[in-house]
């Protein structure tokens, strides 16, 4: 993407940007080798893609449209930086985002750090804190694909070192009846090249979503963030599990980057998605009055994971 | 710093910000353990400070005022994150910047990644590309302090493991006559807690600076960026070397974060700095017509270092 008049992209101390009027969204996400990706299970370009996609997903989860990214790369000297850049730029192209600057430094592990700006184009941002008791909980797609893809890749790597996962099967045995979706190659792609749901986030915002988050840590933990910030309880009636994944992967695997959002019972959610040319989201439960409640069916929903914030611990 | 009405800082997928009208500055800089700092020679809080200061310096080098930062931290599990956060927040306070979001993840080396926004408050940003032949070259302070401080710390660490560098002397022997400035503790502080020159950058912009950059890689390399982007030559007549540093440290050590800028001969640079209550910058040379020229006195100025950009190499 080219700078507009008055804009300056890469090559100076900072980029000079002319964002649209109104509030600016700003987020940062790191993608670390050995934590968020494994170079024996995906390429450097996949890592670059992921670093952009997870940031675009943060903007999508606000109901926003991504504008600009800056990318910091710390890499061992032998790293093929062109391949990393290819992945960064492929994802930028896919989401209509401009890569406007960066920082490149050495390091003994590959770390990709991307910061992103976005706009809500005059609408209010959809926060995590706006859900109300009685609101319906929706998710934009089936869950567990990324975790199942990772397991397929690990199995394949174990069976034939360095081979692709195309022949890896067997994980289907764990899939509950009624689940739908992923072929092995789709699952592997969900891990290597996760998709950010920008249009879905925008449709959710247009359909009066009261709270929204992207499924990065896992549905149970991400819903817990909404519940905690909104002071509501959670009663799930179902979990949409992609074919080839387990309930545990759908609930706790994370990195699916589907959006989970809440909206009043009378909001025309399905219609808003249809109008935008999108598949209808899936209704998975409702928010309750009791802010401590976390239920799936009649049973306790286990919430696990870890905090990503700068709150002090002492 | 507190969010204004309509703003949301940490705790959601992205921060919601209301920047002042006009162009937005955006930059990112990584600070990596073992590359940009050494935890045996400085504290975790120093590393946090540095990650903010180097980013603020990027905004200063545009003549801008820093607004918001987001910080990504990848850290080994045993890291005292409160100490890192203390350093981040101390620097944010010092420069009037709001820490509005972050991402925290594990990793086997400490990597701090900060992205920053800024504004030029209605003035044009000062790019690297605007210098013209005949423009005077100025620098906002003496150079080499950070490199000399690092050498003192390394010497002290070698002499008494874990001791402070307060007793380390001897480096003064290398200082040419006429240099001024750093006591050992000032040099050590320049390495551990570099200062960003925001007010100086603003005064330079106000005094018709045509090009500006911060001295992060070393004067010779950073001036080369201005020369290359502006298609002018460089004729240095002097290099201001802090007491305790060598010419080599002043020219190539980097991390001083002084600003080097160019301005027409008739610009009232000294007056603009005086008006802002700042020490006068130091005149070090002029830009020439021959875009290939890089001279210090009558001799060739050696330019060394490496590229920090996403230009493709193939």
A160 band by pLDDT with thresholds 50, 70 and 90: low
Contact check, Cβ <8 Å, A309/B71: no
pLDDT score of A86 more than 90: yes
- A305 pLDDT more than 50: no
Does A76 reach chain B within 8 Å, measured CB to CB? no
Bigger pLDDT: B175 or A103?
Answer: A103
Judged by a CB distance cut-off of 8 A, whether residue A90 touches chain B is no
pLDDT, tens only, B146-170: 999 999 999 988 776 544 444 444 4
pLDDT over 70 (residue A167): no
Any idea what DSSP says for residue B33? B
Q: How confident is the model at residue B304 (pLDDT cuts 50, 70, 90)?
A: low
Tokens, residue B24: 């937005």
Mean pLDDT, rounded, for A53-59: 98
Q: Among candidates A184, A190, A85, which has minimal Cα distance to A141? A: A190
Predicted confidence at residue A304, as pLDDT, reads 64
pLDDT of residue A306: 41
Mean pLDDT of chain A: 90
Per-position DSSP letters for B194-222, written without gaps between them: PPP-HHHHHHHHHTT-SEEEE-SS-HHHH
Is pLDDT of A20 > 70? yes
Q: Which residue has the higher pLDDT, A167 or B243?
A: B243
Burial B62-79 (b: 16+ CB within 10 A, else e): bbbbbbbbbbbbbbeeeb
Measure Cα distances from A59 to A63, A88, A196, A212 in Å: 7, 17, 9, 11
Decide if B23 contacts B123 (C-beta within 8 A).
no
Check whether B198 has a pLDDT greater than 80: yes
Q: What is the pLDDT of residues A240-270, one digit of tens each?
A: 999 999 999 999 988 999 999 999 999 999 9
Residues of chain B with Cβ-Cβ distance to A128 below 8 Å are: 11-13
> Would you say B172 and B184 are in contact if contact means Cβ atoms under 8 Å apart?
no
B24 in contact with A at a CB cutoff of 8 Å? yes
Mean pLDDT over A119-143 rounds to 97
A62 and B127: CB-CB below 8 Å? no
pLDDT of B179 over the 80 cut? no
Are the C-beta atoms of A240 and A296 separated by less than 8 Å? Answer: no
B171, two tokens: 């480096």
Q: Kindly identify which residue of chain B lies nearest to residue A17, measuring between CA atoms.
A: B24
- pLDDT value, residue B174: 44
| Among chain A residues, CA nearest to B85 | A310
Put simply, the answer to whether B24 touches A26 (Cβ < 8 Å) is no
Give whole-number Cα distances, B195 to B147, B187, B225, B249, in Å.
14, 12, 22, 18
Determine whether the interchain pair A103/B68 forms a contact, defined as Cβ–Cβ distance below 8 Å.
no
Contact B72 A17 (CB under 8 A): no
Among A34, A127, A312, beta carbon nearest to B8: A127
Residues B23, A36: C-beta atoms closer than 8 Å = no
The Cα angle at residue A72 between residues B88 and B109, in degrees rounded to 5: 65
User: By the 8 A CB rule, do B214 and B283 touch?
Assistant: no
Residue written as tokens 């190539």? B252
The C-alpha atoms of residue A253 and residue A241 are separated, in whole angstroms, by 11
ipTM: 0.89
Select the residue of B13, B18, B108 nearest A109 (Cβ to Cβ). B108
Tell which wins on pLDDT, A313 or A159: A159
Q: What are phi and psi of B166, to 5 degrees?
A: -60, -30
Cα B234 to the chain's mean position, in Å?
Answer: 21
Mutation target vs A (from B12, B73, B92, B229; most A CBs, 10 A cutoff) = B12
Cβ distance of A32 and B106 shorter than 8 Å: yes
- The band of B11, judged by pLDDT with boundaries at 50, 70 and 90, is confident
Nearest to B218, CA basis, from B305, B106, B312: B305
When pLDDT is cut at 50, 70 and 90, the band that residue A303 belongs to is confident
CB contact under 8 A, B23 and A18: yes
Check CB contact of B29 with chain A, cutoff 8 Å: yes
CB contact under 8 Å between A113 and B24, yes or no, is no
Q: How far is CA A148 from the centre of its chain?
A: 16
Query: Could you say which residues from 33 to 52 on chain B have a Cβ atom under 8 Å away from some Cβ of chain A?
Result: 34-36
Q: Which of B6, B10, B68 sits opposite A310 (nearest CB)?
A: B10
Q: Which of A10, A71, A118 sits opposite B14 (nearest CB)?
A: A118
Cβ–Cβ contact B28 with A under 8 A = yes
Tokens 């018709």 locate to B208
Residue B18 at interface with chain A, using a CB cutoff of 8 Å: yes
Distance from CA of B108 to the nearest CA of A (A): 8
Q: What is the pTM of this model?
A: 0.90
Q: Is B125 helix (H, G, I), strand (E, B) or coil?
A: coil
Query: Average pLDDT for residues B59-87, to the nearest whole number?
Result: 97
State yes or no: pLDDT of A139 exceeds 90: yes
The structure tokens listed for B220 are 């010779």
Contact B27 A70 (CB under 8 A): yes
According to the model, what pLDDT value does residue B160 have? 60
The average confidence (pLDDT) of chain B is 90
Instruction: Flag if B117 and A10 touch (Cβ within 8 Å).
Output: no
pLDDT at B165: 42
With CB atoms and an 8 Å threshold, state whether B28 touches A125: no
Instruction: Give residues 121 to 150 of B whose Cβ lies within 8 Å of A.
Output: 125, 127-129
User: Percent of chain B, pLDDT > 90?
Assistant: 82
pLDDT surpasses 70 at B129: yes
Instruction: Decide if B152 touches A, using CB distance below 8 A.
Output: no
Say if the Cβ atoms of B28 and A61 lie within 8 Å.
Answer: no
Is B201 touching A (CB cutoff 8 A)?
Answer: no
CB atoms inside a 10 Å sphere around CB B244: 28
Dump pLDDT digits (tens) for B262-273: 999 999 999 999
Option in B6, B13, B214 nearest A13 (CB): B214
Domains annotated for chain B, with CATH where assigned, are 24-119 (3.30.1330.10), 126-303 (3.90.650.10)
Cross-chain Cβ contact A111/B107 below 8 Å: yes
- Asked if pLDDT for residue A166 goes beyond 60, the answer is no
Using a CB-CB distance cutoff of 8 angstroms, which residues of chain A are in contact with residue B111?
A: 30, 32, 74, 107, 111, 113
% pLDDT > 90, chain A: 82
């Amino acid at each position: 993407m080219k700078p507009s008049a008055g804009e300056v992209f890469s090559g100076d101390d900072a980029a000079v940007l002319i964002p649209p009027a109104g509030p600016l969204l700003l987020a940062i996400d790191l993608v670390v080798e050995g934590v968020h990706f494994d170079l024996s299970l995906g390429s450097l370009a996949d890592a670059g893609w992921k670093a952009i996609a997870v940031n675009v997903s943060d903007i999508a989860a606000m109901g926003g449209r991504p504008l600009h990214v800056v990318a910091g790369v710390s890499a061992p000297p032998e790293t093929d930086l062109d391949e990393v850049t290819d992945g960064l730029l492929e994802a930028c192209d896919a989401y209509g985002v401009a890569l406007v600057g960066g920082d490149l430094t050495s390091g003994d592990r590959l770390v990709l750090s991307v910061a992103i700006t976005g706009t809500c184009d005059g609408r209010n941002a959809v926060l995590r804190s706006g859900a109300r008791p009685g609101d319906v909980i929706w998710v934009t797609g089936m869950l567990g694909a990324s975790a199942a893809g990772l397991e397929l890749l690990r199995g394949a790597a174990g069976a034939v070192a360095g081979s692709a996962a195309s022949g890896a099967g067997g994980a289907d045995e764990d899939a509950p009846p009624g689940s739908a979706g992923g072929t092995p190659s789709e699952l592997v792609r969900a891990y290597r090249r996760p998709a950010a749901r920008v249009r879905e986030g925008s449709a959710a915002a247009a359909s009066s979503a009261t709270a929204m988050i992207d499924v990065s840590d896992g549905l149970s933990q991400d819903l817990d963030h909404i519940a905690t910030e909104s002071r509501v309880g959670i009663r799930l009636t179902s979990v949409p599990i992609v074919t080839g994944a387990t309930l545990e992967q759908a609930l706790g695997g994370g990195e699916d980057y589907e959006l989970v959002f809440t909206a009043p019972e009378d909001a025309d959610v399905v219609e808003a998605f249809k109008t935008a040319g999108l598949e209808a989201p899936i209704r998975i439960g409702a928010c309750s009055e009791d802010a401590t409640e976390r239920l799936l069916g009649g049973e306790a929903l286990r919430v696990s994971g870890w905090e990503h914030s700068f709150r002090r611990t002492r």
